[in-house]
Chain A
Amino acid sequence: MKDLVRKLTEINSPSGRESRIREVILEELKNSIDGYEVDKLGNLIVWKNGKSDKKVLLDAHMDEIGVVSSFIDDKGFIRIEAIGGISAYNLIGSRITFPESGIEGVVGIEGETPQDVQKNLKELNFDKIFVDIGARSREEAEKLVPLGTFGVYSAEFVDLGRRIVSKAMDDRIGCAVLIETIKMSNPYYKLYGAFSVQEEMGLVGASVVAFNINPDFAIALDVTAWSDTPKGYKRMSIELGKGPAIKIKDNASISDRDIVERLRNVAEKNGIPYQIEILIFGGTDAAAIQRTSSGIPSGTLSIPCRYVHSPHEMIDIEDAENAVKLLKALVEEER
């Protein structure tokens, strides 16, 4: 599974520019599904028939956070805006790659005096940073990175054994789990897999993805935060390696009670480790799916992830493998 995760995280597809990741995912799945479609907004929807005519929808989002070029100054320095919830703090000292241009840049910070720099670091925002692609004039920069070019973190996949690190683990790990689940399951229900677009812009793809499917229930697969680092969030108890997290609540939704119970029962019955997740911020595609049309009971299964939205997100591979086991058991259950 690590190789699949590496392959997916290395693709550069920020929100609104998902064609490349969609191609790769489809390529991975094409021999394991009974059909697919790409909807009006670019969501990839695949399905695998089951024995029952009930439908279950599993969703993961394909997009990653990034930046977009908004201005090029006389000297060839590039100003950027955020695409999704990317923080200026995570950009300082980072490299950005502009996939459409095939070029990388370094992020710099303004400061006319050392005190200025310190002050800017304390109150950092996108107005105070810029990207340097090594261009020496506006014309040179404009040719490579014209206005409106999208970029993502430039950070490679690192294998630390049980722990793996990469940019875009949010939510390529969810995509990997979904791909493996689809490949390995012999589902009882008709299994729909949705790879959604623009989740980071505000659950855009997920707002429409369930509309035509109308599943009996849905589960979003995403990363969740963590509390197991030094002086980590003291009100949360989410740890890497303790198993996939069954979400009770986050800031955008409360998981359907029956789905939570069911996930717990399936995990316990099959001896799969899990933890219970309550996030005191954040949201997932489940919040959008649950309010589709006349309502769809929805929940989220999360992969605990450290340093979310930084260039180096870390997960425990066993949590992902156990998530696949859990979902496979769930969709194969005859109920």
Chain B
Amino acid sequence: MYLKELTELFGVSGYEKKVREYIREKIKGRVNLIEEDPLGNLIAMKKGRIDKRLLICAHMDEVGFMVSNIEDDGRLSIISIGGIDPRAIIGKKVIIGEKEIPGIIGFKAIHLQKDEIYEPPKMENIKVDIGVTKKSEAENKVKIGDFVAFSVESKSNERWFSGKALDDRCGCSILMDIIHRDIDLYYDTYFIFSVQEELGLRGAGVSAERIAPDLAIVIETTTSGDNPEFPSDRRSTELGKGPAITFAHSGYVVDERLFRWIIDVARENGIPYQIKRRTVGGTDARRIATTLAGIPSAVISIPARYIHSPMSIINLEDYSNTLKLVSILLTKEARL
């Protein structure tokens, strides 16, 4: 499991380099092929028993920001990359650019706020402080176009893991774990560590076009909603109930045959699982399915709390059950 290292690396959509280099380093020598495409997707392949192709993917990118302007007082204006709620970002430490310059997202003290105290902050009022007082000082350290990522230390015990970017470093970790095991793969299996999913599913489809697989499985980290403020009948998944299998989401109804096959395999092997209840949100499956002449796709997710914020949580049993399920699936022929 590579969650600690993966979640502490910085890989905002479009700036996935550090995550990609770490993964590449860890999997080389264990796969038959590694390459990178023009968008930065990392593609690794392990041969299987037959001559057909299965694509399994997880996205490397996380939501974050980009430096959009350097103000006269040396503070940085930022714009969002991916869907971040501005209410979740105040009082956080961030890291800027390749040089990893530290900064903080400060905010007006409560003492000084009057009516605004219950108003959601606007992105245009959010500035990053890197501890300088003049524009020229800031320009020596950072530039427009630098990524701005949350800097969060992960914490875990035997049951829980908390940190940033669990969406979708959990998926990346699962893929890495599978690569490291000696699984008797059925298909020639293409592991895609994709880019720019958070910006509208941009990376994985490109890889699918290049590889032209016969089928695809997307490993995601998904919403739960299992907290006391959210009605239980509107929850998406629950932590501790096992990997979540998707039947439909935004823009795509998962291939019915793959959906039923995954559930049957889980049942036959006594692996706890749940069916993802809500259909909101999308994954790379939509993009992959509509590539070339069509690629039947499925989605398996690890449930998480508070995704798209700087602090999320997963249940480690869900992680290991997801790994177990996917490992078994990859040894079999899909029932298509």
Contact B253–A83 (Cβ < 8 Å): yes
The smallest C-beta distance from B250 to any residue of chain A, in angstroms, reads 8
The smallest C-beta distance from A79 to any residue of chain B, in angstroms, reads 5
As a 0/1 sequence over residues 28 to 40 of chain A, the CB contacts with chain B under 8 angstroms (1 = contact) are 0000000000011
Contact among A79, A81, A82, A212 with B293 in the assembled complex (CB-CB below 8 Å): A212
Chain B residues near A201: list those with CB within 8 A.
248, 251-253
Q: How many residues of B contact A (CB 8 A)?
A: 27
Contact B277–A39 (Cβ < 8 Å): no
B289-306 with Cβ < 8 A to chain A: 289-296
Contact among A40, A73, A212 with B296 in the assembled complex (CB-CB below 8 Å): A40
Contact B293–A147 (Cβ < 8 Å): no
Asked if B115 is an interface residue, CB under 8 A from chain A, the answer is no
Contact B253–A40 (Cβ < 8 Å): no
Asked if B319 is an interface residue, CB under 8 A from chain A, the answer is no
Contact among B247, B251, B259, B296 with A41 in the assembled complex (CB-CB below 8 Å): B296
Asked if A208 is an interface residue, CB under 8 A from chain B, the answer is yes
Contact A148–B275 (Cβ < 8 Å): yes
Contact A16–B248 (Cβ < 8 Å): yes
Contact A39–B293 (Cβ < 8 Å): yes
In the bound complex, what is the Cα–Cα distance between A244 and B256 (angstroms)?
A: 35
Chain A residues near B277: list those with CB within 8 A.
70-71, 81, 147
Chain B residues near A207: list those with CB within 8 A.
290
B256-284 with Cβ < 8 A to chain A: 256, 259, 275, 277-279
Asked if A135 is an interface residue, CB under 8 A from chain B, the answer is no
Chain A residues near B253: list those with CB within 8 A.
15-17, 83, 198, 201, 204
A71-88 with Cβ < 8 A to chain B: 71, 73, 79, 81-83
Asked if B234 is an interface residue, CB under 8 A from chain A, the answer is yes
Chain A residues near B292: list those with CB within 8 A.
208, 211
In the bound complex, what is the Cα–Cα distance between A320 and B305 (angstroms)?
A: 51
As a 0/1 sequence over residues 211 to 225 of chain B, the CB contacts with chain A under 8 angstroms (1 = contact) are 000000000000000
Chain B residues near A204: list those with CB within 8 A.
251-253, 286, 289-290
Contact among A40, A71, A73 with B294 in the assembled complex (CB-CB below 8 Å): A40
Chain A residues near B255: list those with CB within 8 A.
41
The smallest C-beta distance from B255 to any residue of chain A, in angstroms, reads 8
Residues of A near any B CB (own CB < 8 A): 15-17, 39-41, 43, 68, 70-71, 73, 79, 81-83, 127, 147-148, 198, 201-202, 204-205, 207-208, 211-212, 288
- Write 11 A-B pairs (CB below 8 A) sorted by A numbering: A16-B248, A17-B253, A70-B277, A71-B233, A79-B233, A81-B277, A83-B253, A127-B231, A198-B253, A202-B250, A202-B251
